[in-house]
Amino acid sequence: MTRRKPPWFKNLCPAGVNPARLIARKCETCHEWVAVDTGGPIEEKYDPGILDGDDLVAAIILGIRFTRIQPISGTGLITLRTPCGERGISPNGKYLAEHRCFRAPISLKPYKPAKPATPQQWTDGPQLSEEDINRFEIAWRRPL
Ligand SMILES: [Zn+2]
């Protein structure tokens, strides 16, 4: 029996702007839901579960390829970055593992997009009195 469509695919494989070019699809062979990277010359299929640092150890030991989910700061969007050796591997990173038909996925954790950063209000600027402003305006207008 196949699993339900992961609800987080709407964030991982958004219908609109989708820099990672991930498409939600059922695997042709095993009919499980996979996230397909359509950005490269060869389509890569990933299991829907998100790998964190601990899962990464399992993936490395099992020799399962993975790609890093790279959030685009200030947005809820992502791109994918294939780690090169140790570079790009971080215990705080989030990863997708390559899909292997009829094998249990390493992770079934849902994807939670980063919340877009809210711009900070400038509340702690200098406090100027009416007199300060008047003195500034007088100095500003005075010919040199
Ligand atoms: Zn499959």
Per-10-residue mean pLDDT for the chain, 144 residues long? Answer: 86 91 96 94 95 91 93 87 76 92 95 74 77 90 84
Q: How far is the CA of 65 from the centre of ligand 1 (A)?
A: 15
pLDDT value, residue 32:
96
pLDDT value, residue 51:
95
Say how far apart CA 135 and CA 137 lie, in whole Å: 5
Q: What are phi and psi of 35, to 5 degrees?
A: -100, 120
Q: How far is the CA of 83 from the centre of ligand 1 (A)?
A: 23
Enumerate the β-bridge partners of residue 126: none
pLDDT value, residue 35:
97
pLDDT value, residue 103:
94
pLDDT value, residue 21:
94
Say how far apart CA 68 and CA 57 lie, in whole Å: 14
**Among candidates 57, 50, 54, which has minimal Cα distance to 97?**
50
Q: What is the DSSP string of 24-44?
A: EEE-TTT--EEEEE-SSSS-E
Q: How far is the CA of 86 from the centre of ligand 1 (A)?
A: 28
Q: What is the DSSP string of 82-108?
A: --BTTBT--TT-EEEEEP-TTS--S--
pLDDT value, residue 85:
67
Q: How far is the CA of 64 from the centre of ligand 1 (A)?
A: 14
Q: How far is the CA of 49 from the centre of ligand 1 (A)?
A: 14
Structure token pair of residue 1: 């029996």
CA distances from 61 to 2, 57, 82, 141 (A): 26, 6, 17, 72
Find out whether 102 and 1 touch, Cβ atoms under 8 Å: no
Q: Ligand 1 (ion): which residues have CB within 5 A?
A: 27, 29-30, 101
pLDDT value, residue 128:
83
pLDDT value, residue 12:
93
